Amino acid sequence: MLISDLPLTTDGFRRPCLSLSPVDTSRVDVFWHEGMLQHAAVEGVFDSGLDPGFLDVLEKHPENADRVRNMLSILQRGPIAPYINWFPGRPAIVSELLMFHTSEYINKLVEAEKSGERCEIAAGTFMSPGSWEAALLAAGTTLSAMQHILDCHGKLAYALVRPPGHHSQPTQADGYCFLNNAALAVMLALDSGSCSRVAVVDIDVHYGNGTAEGFYRSDKVLTVSLHMNHGSWGSSHPQNGSIDELGEDVGLGYNLNVPLPNGTGDRGYEYAMTELVVPAVRKFGPEMVVLVVGQDSSAFDPNGRQCLTMSGYRRIGEIMREVAEEHSHGRLLMVQEGGYHVTYAAYCLHAMLEGVLKIPEPHLSDPIAYYPEEEAIAVAAVKSIKRYHSEFVPFLRKELEDVLNE
């Protein structure tokens, strides 16, 4: 290995890993802890916890343990099982949480846990006995996955975690999220001395507003979010996810939102990835890549209005593996977020990891798609966003102008 092949640290030196032995990239290292299942789901009307009194059957909150049980079992017993290495998760400690969150906010969560009662700390976001322990495990497990990569024990790691995190902002909970697992992992990478720039690509159907908010004034982190065009949903989610939310100060241009029209499917997402995400990441030049994964962009998810199928998730996995190999020495951390169809979310996870692993042919057929797609509206939206970036995103301006003039 040449010195020039080593990651450049923040002090300008290239430091080798502790071990220069080859790292197996034919398998994914999955981090998991069953204590995350303790976060109890409320029942009611969708995510409200409301019992109106006239319904005989109430539904579980969409972010319930069953969805993750199926993700776990498909990795343990599905066709992809031989390609998985398993590693234990662990709880985060408070000092780690303070890398991203304020002490006032963490104290609020601790006090809510001490009350021993169920409480709604943001719209649709309930804390019950066991929730805080699960949230600490989700954060710590994600940190362990990132540390695993930083220590050169693996290049492809997946944190199978709940509760999710990407809506959680430094000062408040939001959208089923208490602690921002992915953002904490980004901070760990930046603080490690082996990464000076991190790219975060979020494909959850909802805007990764918490991650964006935390790095909104930083040029060390490129946040790119592909989401349905849902706008703000209240005081816990004041951000709109619109294309003009670009970051501020030195961070101007390093928050890129890609609000896709409702109904965008496999071809529309691939077009957005190849035309917007890949060029932006290439220009940014990260030394670590984080993929924030939500299967709620699927055609059958109850909490989203997009139309990805297993094929689309597989293609996204392939693209992100290529991005990591080009820019971050193949280092790719994947962090689980949403995905609320109890069975299809697991299938889409399986397909995405097949793409990441470059498995030539699908090992699972799609049980419920085919879903017809007309990508013209999505393609037009992506072209419009590209034109906007060419005008208002400083670090992309010249490159996109050249592309548009071809």
Active site residues: 167
Q: If DSSP states are collapsed to H, E and C, what string results for the chain? A: CCHHHCCECCCCCECCCCCCCCCCCCCEEEEECHHHHHCCCCEECCCCCCCCCCCCCCEECCCCHHHHHHHHHHHHHCCCHHHEEEEECCCCCHHHHCCCCCHHHHHHHHHHHHCCCCEEEECCEEECCCHHHHHHHHHHHHHHHHHHHHCCCCCEEEECCCCCCCCCECCECECCECCCHHHHHHHHHHHCCCCCCEEEEECCCCCCHHHHHHCCCCCCEEEEEEEECCCCCECCECCCCCCCCCCCHHHCCCEEEEEECCCCEHHHHHHHHHHHHHHHHHHHCCCEEEEEECHHHECCCCCCCCEECHHHHHHHHHHHHHHHHHHCCCCEEEEECCCCCCCHHHHHHHHHHHHHCCCCCCCCCCCCCCCCCCCHHHHHHHHHHHHHHHHHCCCCHHHHHHHHHC
Q: 332-336 and 156-159 as β-strands: parallel, antiparallel, unpaired? A: parallel
Closest CA to 195 of 277, 335, 278, 290: 290
Structure tokens at 185: 């992992």
CB 228 within 8 Å of CB 304: yes
